Every structure is written in structure tokens, then in C-alpha cells.
């Protein structure tokens, strides 16, 4: 029977990958309590600038900051979604915490997958190159890839250049854009485009199957802060600033 979504993984597997990502969304949104919201100190100065310069009320700014924290968590999950899809293609498998994200079953390909091209600093890039080079040295037939799902152009080139003042190159270490990597492992030039076109249909089908009890529980951070200002009579920003910086000189007066 012909697949409904894409032809490089089964419909059942495709929907299962979407289900896994949906659960990540549920977890990310349900987990933003006030305590977690404050885990990384809130930049009260930036919040003030954002509100005044962009003419946005305090409540909307706080909601945007909460969504930014959720988005940061979800970005990692999107990378995992691609790992699962690619690892489900015939002839390939996921790494499962073994040092690589995707490998060919015959050890002719190893890959580390990043959702965006700019997610690594120079030290992380150096460490990744060294890891891929070790795989290439260990497996003499292997080509090893740094995959950038969302890259600035479409490419499949040798990864060489200066990182942290050192010259790096290897005959079988590459960097590759998401479209080219999907094409490489599926043997289909437009596989990534097919994935993009299939997602709205598959997601709609998936959402029709989930239980109502599995709906997203909204984060509680903003409601917790709003409940507190009823008693303290502070503005939302002052309440956030006080709870994050009351130990700073003068801030206990808020």
C-alpha cells in the first residue's frame, strides 16, 4: 500500500515521530512554573527596554519571555525529530547516546545533526570536528557529516578551516545542509521538501487521534506572578525584579 505522507519511512513511524515531538511540547509548556521561569536570572533591564521601545504591555512581554524559554527547549526537540526520521530510513539507525546521532548500518556514514547552523561556539565546533575525524579514522570507509538542518545555503562540502587558531581538515569529514543530507540518505533529491509538504497533513491527522486529556496544560508562571502582585501591589516587572534581585543594593525597596 502506498504511503500517505512520505515514501522513505512508514506512515505509522512518521506519526510516531510527530507524537514524540508533541509530547516534548506538552512537557515544555507544562514545566514553565515561576520557579523554572526564574532558573536563569531574568534580565529586568531588557524587559523594560522591550516594553517601552516596542510599546508592549508588561503582561505581553512576560508571556513573550516565557514563550522564548519554551522555544529554546523545543528547538532541541526539533533536532531529535529529524534524528528519529532519519534513523528510521532503511539502512540507517539512531545513535542512542553512543556519540553519533545517525549512522549507516554498514558503518559507511556517521553524522551529528544540528537543527540550526549557528548553535555551536568555536569550542563546540572544534570538539565536533575531532569526534567526526575519529570516526573517519576508525572506520576507513566512512564519510562523516556535520548536518545543519537549517543552513544558510544548500551544500555538501569538505569541512576544513581554522577553528580556535588551529587548521582542521580530513579527507572524509564533511558539512552538509539538511536538504542535501536528506537527499543523501534517502536517495531522493527532494526528500526534505517532501517532508515539509507532508507535515501539515500528518500533524492534522495526528491531532485528530489524540485524547482530550492529552491537551496542553498552559504554563503557570504568569498566573503565579499575577497572584503575588495582588498582595504586594507591585507592577509585574517590579515583582519579577524584586524576586530575582532583592539582594542587589536598593532593590529591597521595590
Beta-strand runs (E) in the chain: 92-94, 102-104, 109-116, 143-150, 156-158, 161-163, 166-168, 173-177
CA separation for the pair 241, 41 (Å, rounded): 9
How is residue 162 annotated by DSSP? E
pLDDT digits (tens, 9 = 90+) for 147-200: 999 999 999 999 998 888 888 889 999 999 999 999 999 999 999 999 999 999
pLDDT digits (tens, 9 = 90+) for 20-63: 999 988 888 776 788 888 887 889 899 999 999 999 999 999 98
Which CA distances in Å does 39 have to 72, 217, 221, 236, 244? 14, 20, 12, 18, 10
Which CA distances in Å does 78 have to 81, 116, 166, 176? 5, 10, 32, 18
Return the pLDDT at 35: 85
With pLDDT > 70 as the criterion, what percentage of the chain qualifies? Answer: 96
The residues near 9 (Cβ < 8 Å, ≥ 6 apart) are 17, 85, 88, 89
The predicted model scores a pTM of 0.82
Delimit the domains of the chain by residue range. Answer: 11-214
Rounded to 5 degrees, φ, ψ at 185 are: -80, -25
Q: Are strands 109-116 and 143-150 parallel, antiparallel or unpaired?
A: parallel
Q: Which three cell numbers stand for residue 249?
A: 543594593
Amino acid at each position: 500500500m502506498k504511503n500517505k505522507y512520505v515514501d522513505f519511512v512508514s506512515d505509522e513511524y512518521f506519526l510516531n515521530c510527530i507524537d514524540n515531538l508533541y509530547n516534548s511540547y506538552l512537557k515544555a509548556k507544562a514545566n514553565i512554573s515561576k520557579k523554572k521561569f526564574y532558573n536563569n536570572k531574568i534580565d529586568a533591564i531588557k524587559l523594560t527596554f522591550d516594553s517601552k521601545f516596542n510599546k508592549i504591555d508588561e503582561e505581553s512581554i512576560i508571556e513573550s519571555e516565557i514563550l522564548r524559554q519554551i522555544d529554546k527547549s523545543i528547538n532541541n526537540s526539533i533536532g531529535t525529530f529529524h534524528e528519529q526520521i532519519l534513523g528510521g530510513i532503511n539502512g540507517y539507525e539512531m545513535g542512542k547516546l553512543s556519540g553519533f546521532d545517525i549512522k549507516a548500518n554498514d558503518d559507511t556514514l556517521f553524522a551529528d545533526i544540528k537543527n540550526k547552523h549557528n548553535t555551536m561556539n568555536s569550542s563546540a565546533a572544534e570538539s565536533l570536528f575531532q569526534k567526526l575525524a575519529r570516526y573517519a579514522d576508525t572506520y576507513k570507509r566512512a564519510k562523516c557529516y556535520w548536518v545543519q538542518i537549517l543552513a544558510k545555503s544548500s551544500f555538501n562540502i569538505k569541512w576544513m578551516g581554522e577553528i580556535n587558531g588551529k587548521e582542521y581538515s580530513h579527507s572524509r569529514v564533511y558539512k552538509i545542509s539538511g536538504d542535501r543530507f536528506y537527499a543523501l540518505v534517502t536517495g531522493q533529491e527532494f526528500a526534505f521538501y517532501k517532508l515539509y509538504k507532508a507535515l501539515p497533513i500528518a500533524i492534522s491527522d495526528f491531532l485528530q487521534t489524540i485524547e482530550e486529556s492529552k491537551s496542553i496544560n498552559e504554563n503557570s508562571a504568569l498566573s503565579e506572578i499575577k497572584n503575588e502582585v495582588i498582595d504586594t501591589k507591585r507592577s509585574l516587572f517590579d515583582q519579577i525584579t524584586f524576586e530575582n534581585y532583592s539582594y542587589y543594593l536598593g532593590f529591597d525597596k521595590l
